């Protein structure tokens, strides 16, 4: 069942399989949530004292808590959650399934997406801020979008690496 739950009623699950994180990726996630809101529901199970344990989405919960600390979200900010009534064992499997099959975007897809945002009127600085990235990173992806179509397609399909594409960009200068 989908339910809105106040952020201050959500707690970390001891069954969450992700034990390590990446501070840079967490900062990017926080910036994205601040700019766009929560785009993916948390998956929770009922816990004691009216709380809900986050089985999948702990990084998102922590990002929202950081936004509470920055006074961007209220402590009782409503969070859309999928509430499971599964066993603890099934919750571990849910957490693993939600974390295991993640695929980061490839550089070509990022380049096209950033170029579309800039073409739509966003500045490079806006894009960087909204996604928690550096301006230099966004500029680098935008340079990829200027590659010759055949080279860009080779990057997109994995026929050439990002490093080779960067060398080709440098050679064009």
pLDDT digits (tens, 9 = 90+) for 14-41: 887 777 788 989 999 999 999 999 999 9
- Taking the C-alpha atoms of residue 137 and residue 42, their distance in angstroms, rounded to an integer, is 29
Average pLDDT over residues 149-157: 92
For residue 101, is pLDDT > 70? no
CA angle in degrees (0–180, nearest 5) for 149-152-155: 155
Mean pLDDT of the chain: 90
Tokens of 168: 């080709």
Average pLDDT over residues 29-58: 94
Report in angstroms the alpha-carbon separations of 172 from 63, 131, 150, 166, 167.
40, 28, 15, 10, 9
Give the model's pLDDT for residue 76.
Answer: 97
Give the model's pLDDT for residue 3.
Answer: 95
Domains of the chain and CATH, by start: 2-100 (3.90.1530.30), 107-172 (1.10.10.2830)
For residue 74, is pLDDT > 90? yes
What pTM was estimated for this model as a whole?
0.69
- Taking the C-alpha atoms of residue 114 and residue 94, their distance in angstroms, rounded to an integer, is 32
């Amino acid at each position: 069942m989908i339910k809105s739950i106040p952020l201050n009623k959500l707690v970390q699950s001891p069954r969450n399989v992700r034990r390590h994180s990446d501070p840079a990726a967490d900062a990017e996630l926080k910036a994205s949530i601040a700019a766009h809101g929560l785009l993916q529901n948390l998956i929770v199970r009922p816990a004691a004292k009216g709380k809900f344990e986050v089985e999948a989405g702990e990084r998102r919960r922590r990002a929202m808590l950081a936004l509470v600390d920055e006074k961007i979200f209220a402590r009782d900010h409503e969070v859309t959650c999928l509430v499971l009534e599964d066993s603890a064992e099934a919750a571990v499997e849910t957490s693993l399934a939600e974390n295991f099959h993640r695929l980061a975007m490839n550089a070509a897809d990022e380049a096209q997406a950033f170029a579309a945002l800039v073409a739509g009127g966003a500045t490079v600085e806006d894009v960087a801020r909204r996604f928690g990235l550096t301006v230099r990173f966004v500029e680098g992806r935008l340079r990829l979008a200027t590659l010759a179509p055949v080279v860009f397609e080779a990057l997109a399909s994995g026929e050439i690496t990002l490093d080779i594409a960067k060398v080709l960009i440098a050679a064009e200068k």
